[in-house]
Amino acid sequence: MKLHYDADTEAFRAELRAWLQANQPTLEEMRAEPVCSSAHLTGWSRRWQRHLFDAGLLVPGWPPELGGRNLSPVQQLVYHEEMAKTRADRTTNPQGLGIIAPSILDYGSNLLKEKYLLPTLRAERAWCLGMSEPGAGSDLAALSTRAEVHDDRFVVSGQKIWTSGAHHADHCFCFVRTDPDAPKHRGISVLIIDMKAPGVTVRPLPELSKPDHVDFNEVFFDDVVVPRDHLVGNLGEGWSISAGSLAHERGMMWLASAAQLDGTMSRLRELAREQGPDGRRIGERGCIRDAIASLYVDAQAMWFMGYQGFAKVARGQASPEHSVLKLFGSEINQRAVRIATEAQGVAALDVEFEGCGYDDSYGRPPWMTQYLQTYRATISAGTSEIQRNIIAQRVLGLPRR
């Protein structure tokens, strides 16, 4: 147990940091082309991701031909720590790089790998993930988008919703029911669907914060024809792909969340230096001081728990930290932003803001808008309640109903 890694690891960190600082996109480039959804590849983001790919710094645990350099787990941890400090994320299509590319690598045929893997890694293709449906949110296995199976093709009909980035995506990694008679977890398959195929309709679904804040969409499939060879894995294997694909990079995903929380905390501490509605410095108010100290502890604890989980994984033990960190990080961030709105008082009601509300490199929405947006993290990718169920049942071993 040590606060620092060995000299070799720290030397690697220094080298990496220097590279990232020298090569990351400039703020001007980023502001000139704001990113407006989780599948929006802009000019600068394509160049940046391609640059990382060529340097073997895109998926560092992978071999060079896949944009990596076979880094050890500790070096990968350092990579993600340093990446969290750079101005730009390594991709502006996180589901494409973090979930879909590894799933194609694990489950896809040679044809699919050839056609989609490298182009995705090189930021030439953007993806959305077709999971949730009106009748299948937390209960994903209840999905009912149907794919009729023919010899040479599938014909897909149904509806997805809360599909992030669908309006910017080239392809959908889509979970469909191929066997309506099988038990609900067994009849699901994964298809790669071209978002420009006839019969695909995308309807943006603005967020609660503002009508022009759009990442989610409804996606309608009306007899969409999908070539038979665009099946990922085997027929009926969709549920295990979903479990496998969501597990990708889970080991390090907490770092981004911890870094986000750090960002919230430093802005909250800046806010505390401002004058509040009563004319006093906000940080002088006892309950705000107490809340900030409490949140600071939690934000730091987020890192410590992450490192603790990493140590367990590195020792080959199971780590429950993913659910713990997802639950904890999203709820603490929400609380921190809420405390900021409370500290502002009536001033929090002014929500004038020009940006699209998705990317903050060219300005951050007002605190109250951010507060509404914090529910994205407590609801998506398994709500807080689902995470608590997972912890209770899978970690603590409490019985399922």
Query: Which tokens hold the place of 75?
Result: 């070096």
The tokens for 14 are 């220094």
- Residue 83's contacts (CB-CB under 8 Å, 6 or more residues apart) are 20, 89, 90, 255
Question: Contacting other proteins (CB under 8 A), which of 39, 241, 292, 372?
Answer: 292
Are 277 and 346 in contact by the 8 Å Cβ rule? The answer is yes
- Smallest distance from other proteins to CB 397, Å: 7
| Minimum distance of other proteins from residue 242's CB (angstroms) | 22
Identify the residue among 1, 7, 22, 346 touching other proteins (CB under 8 A): 1
Q: Can residue 7 be called a binding residue for other proteins (CB under 8 A)?
A: no
Alpha-carbon dihedral 243, 245, 251, 252, rounded to 10 degrees: -140
Contact 365, 356 (CB under 8 A): no
- Do 193 and 152 touch, CB atoms closer than 8 A? no
Task: State yes or no: residue 311 binds other proteins (CB under 8 A).
Answer: yes
Instruction: Please check whether residue 217 is in contact with residue 150, taking contact to mean a CB–CB distance below 8 angstroms.
Output: no
Binders of other proteins in range 376-395 (CB under 8 A)? 385, 387-389, 391-393, 395
Residues 6+ away with beta carbon under 8 Å from 163: 128, 129, 130, 131, 132, 172, 216, 217, 218, 219
Closest CB to other proteins among 81 and 359? 81
| Residue 55 phi, psi (nearest 5) | -85, 0
E runs forming strands in 58-145: 127-130
DSSP classification of residue 379:
H
Binding mask 318-357 for other proteins (x = CB under 8 A): --xx--x--xx-----------------------------
The angle at the Cα of 239, spanning 234 to 245, to the nearest 5 degrees, equals 90
| Among residues 168, 298, 333, 377, the one that binds other proteins under rule CB under 8 A | 298
- Determine, following the binding rule CB under 8 A, whether residue 86 of this chain makes contact with other proteins: no
Told to check if 191 binds other proteins by CB under 8 A, we report no
Q: What angle do CA 357, 363, 367 make, to 5 degrees?
A: 65
303 sits near other proteins (criterion: CB under 8 A): yes
Least distance from other proteins to the Cβ atom of residue 251, Å: 14
Count residues near other proteins (CB under 8 A): 46
**At closest approach, how far in Å is the CB of 272 from other proteins?**
5
- 5 is a site residue for other proteins (CB under 8 A): yes
Q: Shortest approach of other proteins to residue 69 CB, angstroms?
A: 22
Q: Which residues in 238-277 contact other proteins (CB under 8 A)?
A: 269, 272
DSSP-based three-state secondary structure for 261 = helix
Would you say 347 or 391 has its CB closer to other proteins? Answer: 391
Contact 168, 195 (CB under 8 A): no
Minimum distance, C-beta of residue 253 to other proteins, in the bound complex (Å): 17
Q: By C-beta, is 10 or 229 nearer to other proteins?
A: 10
Q: Is 294 in the site for other proteins (CB under 8 A)?
A: yes
- For 265, which DSSP code? H
Which residue pairs, CB below 8 angstroms and at least 24 apart, start in 291-299? 291/339, 292/265, 292/268, 292/339, 295/265, 295/268, 295/332, 295/335, 295/336, 295/339, 296/265, 298/328, 298/332, 299/258, 299/261, 299/262, 299/264, 299/265, 299/332, 299/336
Please tell me whether residue 304 binds other proteins under the rule CB under 8 A.
Answer: yes
Q: Which one among 11, 149, 297, 318 touches other proteins, defined by CB under 8 A?
A: 297
- Measured from the CB of residue 401, what is the shortest distance to other proteins in angstroms? 5
- Cβ proximity to other proteins, 256 vs 391, nearer residue: 391
**Residue 93 or 323 with smaller CB distance to other proteins:** 323
Q: Least distance from C-beta 301 to other proteins, angstroms?
A: 5
Among 36, 193, 305, 372, binds other proteins (CB under 8 A): 305
- By beta-carbon proximity to other proteins, the closer residue of 110 and 275 is 275
Task: List residues binding other proteins (CB under 8 A).
Answer: 1-5, 269, 272, 283, 289-290, 292-294, 296-298, 300-301, 303-305, 307-308, 310-311, 314-315, 320-321, 324, 327-328, 385, 387-389, 391-393, 395-401
